[in-house]
Amino acid sequence: LATGVVSRQRDASVRTDDRQAISGGHSVKTALITGITGQDGAYLAEFLLGKGYAVHGVKRRTSLFNTARIDHLLEGAPGQEDRFVLHHGDMTDSSSLTHILQTTRPDEVYNLAAQSHVAVSFEEPEYTANSDAMGALRLLEAIRFLGLDKTRFYQASTSELYGLVQETPQRETTPFYPRSPYAVAKLYAYWITVNYREAYGIYACNGILFNHESPLRGETFVTRKITRALARIKLGTQDELKLGNLDAKRDWGHARDYVEMMWLMLQQDTPEDFVIATGQQYSVRDFVKAAAAELDIDITFEGEGLDEVGRDRDGRVIVSVDPRYFRPAEVETLLGDATKAREKLGWTPRTSFAELVAEMTRSDLAEARRDNSRG
């Protein structure tokens, strides 16, 4: 384990002859994904393995297992064995990132690792800046320093950059106005990506992705928190769901659709930045209603502000507002315009809002039933 490799493959470096051996004579492309254990990392890894890539992932050391989202890939589908390798590393540690880049020499780097929770960034602003802003710089600087002039770089930029919105809908030319330590850190990462492209000719792109969700979404983001709680309320194992700002509006898509765009962005002749969004907007309250309807829970909202509650058909309060979930500065509304991606990448989202909510709700109901049967 001296090299930090944590999968079954002994040597992390995949050289040309190894690549040809793996692919039975054809040269395969190599991708490096930071944040591979997260929602997007899992979908992207599966997508790239399906395209025949050798996929390397950066995983940080944790005291408990953190690979639940990718364990099925580590076990190796037929034909994918040995094409999936994990390395220990951390976005706050240049030496690990440089070493991994040096040994893997990837064709494509997808920088998805981040302290990605907006509310948490107010509590851990310095760490968020270190991992989200400086982390991107560390990777770009390593690419430059190692002379990896064929390596293409994707930066996970975000609609949070628009924050206090200056124009609706938001597109690539809309001015940024970040509203959290997370968004400010991502602003640095956005501009350092542009800067290394312009200064050093690195093929580097920003995907400005609006919110995207899935059954793999972290449990503390609002959509998953809602589907998970309502599934348990349906089964009678939870009484109430406490939320913050029910009026916040977001443009919610499916993570599976969005990772395909990350890849498409790196296949163009010239590197550019793209907004990725559905162009549809719903409030947190709308999401609760849609998930409740999926579960055949009849919910009615009444009251205002801190007194607003959602009652079921028996008049029981199942949703209430808890100011602990308010943020010091809120992003009230986001709505994206992905016209450029549609025209230049031929990209359109496949999954509708209703399909997304249904998939997440079904998955959480199945999980709640499993938990129940375990007692």
Q: In 196-207, which positions are buried (b, 16+ CB within 10 angstroms) versus exposed (e)?
A: bbeeeebbbbbb
Q: How far apart are CA 375 and CA 373, in angstroms?
A: 5
Find the binder of ligand NDP among 113, 118, 241, 266 (CB under 6 A).
113
Residue 221 binds ligand GDR, judged by CB under 6 A: yes
Find the binder of ligand NDP among 5, 28, 114, 295 (CB under 6 A).
114
Residue 308 binds ligand GDR, judged by CB under 6 A: no
Residue 131 binds ligand NDP, judged by CB under 6 A: yes
Q: Which residue has the tokens 């200056």?
A: 166
Q: Is 182 a catalytic residue?
A: yes
Q: How far apart are CA 97 and CA 116, in angstroms?
A: 19
Q: How far apart are CA 61 and CA 129, in angstroms?
A: 20
Residue 249 binds ligand NDP, judged by CB under 6 A: no
Find the binder of ligand GDR among 7, 34, 151, 159 (CB under 6 A).
159
110, 104 Cβ separation under 8 angstroms: no
Residue closer to ligand NDP, measured from CB, 153 or 321:
153
Number of residues that bind ligand GDR (CB under 6 A): 22
* Nearest Cα residue to 345 out of 285, 289, 245, 263: 263
The binder of 112, among ligand GDR, ligand NDP, none, by C-beta within 5 to 8 A per type, is ligand NDP
Stretch that binds ligand GDR, among 24-32, 115-123, 125-133, 199-207 (CB under 6 A): 115-123
Residue 101 binds ligand NDP, judged by CB under 6 A: no
Nearest-approach distance from CB 160 to ligand GDR, in angstroms: 5
The binder of 92, among ligand NDP, ligand GDR, none, by C-beta within 5 to 8 A per type, is ligand NDP
* Nearest Cα residue to 129 out of 91, 155, 96, 162: 91
Stretch that binds ligand GDR, among 11-19, 30-38, 122-130, 153-161 (CB under 6 A): 153-161
* Nearest Cα residue to 23 out of 51, 60, 62: 51
Stretch that binds ligand NDP, among 24-32, 34-42, 173-181, 229-237 (CB under 6 A): 34-42
Residue 63 binds ligand NDP, judged by CB under 6 A: no
Q: How far apart are CA 266 and CA 34, in angstroms?
A: 16
Find the binder of ligand NDP among 22, 45, 73, 91 (CB under 6 A).
91
In the sheet with 30-34, reading across from the earlier edge strand, the strands are 84-88, 54-59, 30-34, 108-111, 152-158, 203-209, 274-276
Residues 292-321 that bind ligand NDP (CB under 6 A): none
Q: Is 160 a catalytic residue?
A: yes
Alpha helices, DSSP H, located in 201-338: 222-235, 255-265, 284-294
Stretch that binds ligand NDP, among 12-20, 58-66, 309-317, 336-344 (CB under 6 A): 58-66
Q: How far apart are CA 332 and CA 350, in angstroms?
A: 26
117, 181 Cβ separation under 8 angstroms: no
Catalytic positions are: 158, 160, 182
Positions that interact with ligand NDP (CB under 6 A): 34-35, 37-41, 58, 60, 62, 66, 90-92, 112-116, 131, 156, 158, 209, 211-212, 218
